[in-house]
């Protein structure tokens, strides 16, 4: 793998960029990161600074790839495009089935992230809708596909593998789900409804670089989105009030 200068730009939240950071951290490659606050982003958009070529499709995250820090090379926008590039750059490769799981995981995250603008999005009624009509179908589809393709695709990494884009995306979705519904964790154990999802979760969470990154950077305490109701504290408080095994 040839060395390039990699620079990731995002907001100071977990959101759509967590699987990108996860892949980079696990691989051990050097990369730079830049965080832009929501206020600064709004200011930049208002002054016409947000758009091609610096920000393809006028959004975040973006990955800049160059031969050195001063030589930009090219810029990628959109999470799935960046993950696909990193799969190739890190020599992972990805089959169409794995791309389907990756894209479904991002769609799940985006769909729920959009709900965080409302204060009651994790109140009893909305919480049940998120669980029954969004989260459980996502988990069932992912579990079913992993049951067929997990071994051949190596999406559940061995000690000698690197985390793939699909693995990073699914792991991020599972982390988010367990923040929302801690009682689901028992379903990820042996014999549970989502035991293969649980195998992936444990395989990635225990990888040394990944484990150190989450601990040293205090990732679990970061907000998932830029809204007031997407913070780690808010989600945890709602789970403490309303998460029960009976709803699962």
Domain span at residue 139 reads: 93-242
Q: Are 13 and 70 in contact (CB under 8 A)?
A: no
- Tell me, yes or no, whether 120 and 237 share the same domain: yes
Of 40, 60, 88, the position where a domain reaches its end is 88
What sign results for the dihedral spanned by CA atoms 199, 200, 201, 202? Answer: positive
Using the predicted structure, report yes or no on whether residue 45 has a pLDDT greater than 70.
yes
Average predicted confidence (pLDDT) for the chain = 92
Using the predicted structure, report yes or no on whether residue 109 has a pLDDT greater than 60.
yes
The SS3 of residue 66 is strand
> CA–CA separation, 94 vs 84, rounded Å?
8
pLDDT digits (tens, 9 = 90+) for 131-148: 999 999 999 999 998 988
Residue 198 lies in a domain: yes
Residue 247 lies in a domain: no
- Tell me, yes or no, whether 81 and 109 share the same domain: no
CB-CB neighbours of 217 under 10 Å: 12
pLDDT digits (tens, 9 = 90+) for 171-185: 999 999 999 999 999
Using the predicted structure, report yes or no on whether residue 149 has a pLDDT greater than 90.
no
Residue 237 lies in a domain: yes
Q: What is the structure's pLDDT at 33?
A: 96
Q: What is the structure's pLDDT at 246?
A: 56
Per mean pLDDT, which range of 64-73, 143-152, 182-191 is the poorest?
Answer: 64-73
- Tell me, yes or no, whether 98 and 209 share the same domain: yes
Q: What is the structure's pLDDT at 1?
A: 46
Q: What is the structure's pLDDT at 244?
A: 82
**Confidence grade of residue 53 (pLDDT, cut at 50, 70, 90):** confident
Residue 248 lies in a domain: no
> CA–CA separation, 12 vs 159, rounded Å?
30
* CB environment 63-77: b (16+ within 10 A), e (fewer): bbbeeeeeeeeebbb
- Tell me, yes or no, whether 108 and 182 share the same domain: yes
Angle ∠(108,177,157) on CA atoms, nearest 5: 85
Of 57, 88, 119, the position where a domain reaches its end is 88
pTM recorded for the entire structure: 0.90
Using the predicted structure, report yes or no on whether residue 194 has a pLDDT greater than 90.
yes
């Amino acid at each position: 793998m040839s060395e390039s200068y990699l620079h990731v730009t995002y907001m100071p939240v977990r959101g759509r960029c967590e699987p990108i950071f996860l892949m980079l951290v696990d691989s051990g490659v050097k990369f730079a990161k830049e965080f832009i606050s929501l206020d600064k982003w709004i200011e930049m958009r208002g002054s016409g600074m947000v758009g091609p070529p610096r920000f393809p499709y006028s959004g975040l995250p973006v990955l800049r790839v160059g031969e050195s820090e001063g030589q930009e090379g090219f810029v990628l926008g959109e999470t799935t495009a960046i993950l696909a590039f990193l799969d190739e750059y890190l020599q992972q490769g990805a089959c169409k089935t794995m791309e389907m799981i990756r894209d479904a995981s991002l769609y799940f995250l985006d769909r729920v992230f959009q709900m965080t603008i409302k204060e009651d999005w994790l109140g009893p009624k909305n919480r049940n809708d998120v669980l029954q009509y969004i989260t459980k179908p996502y988990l069932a589809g992912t579990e079913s596909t992993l049951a067929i393709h997990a071994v051949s695709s190596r999406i559940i990494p061995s000690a000698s593998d690197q985390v793939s884009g699909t693995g990073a995306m699914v792991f991020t979705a599972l982390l988010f789900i367990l923040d929302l519904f801690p009682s689901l964790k028992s379903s990820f154990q042996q014999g549970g409804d989502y035991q293969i999802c649980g195998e992936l979760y444990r395989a990635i969470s225990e990888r040394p670089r990944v484990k150190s990154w989450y601990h040293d950077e205090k990732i679990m305490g970061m907000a998932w989105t830029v809204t007031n109701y997407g913070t780690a504290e808010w989600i945890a408080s709602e789970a403490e009030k309303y998460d029960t095994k009976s709803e699962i």
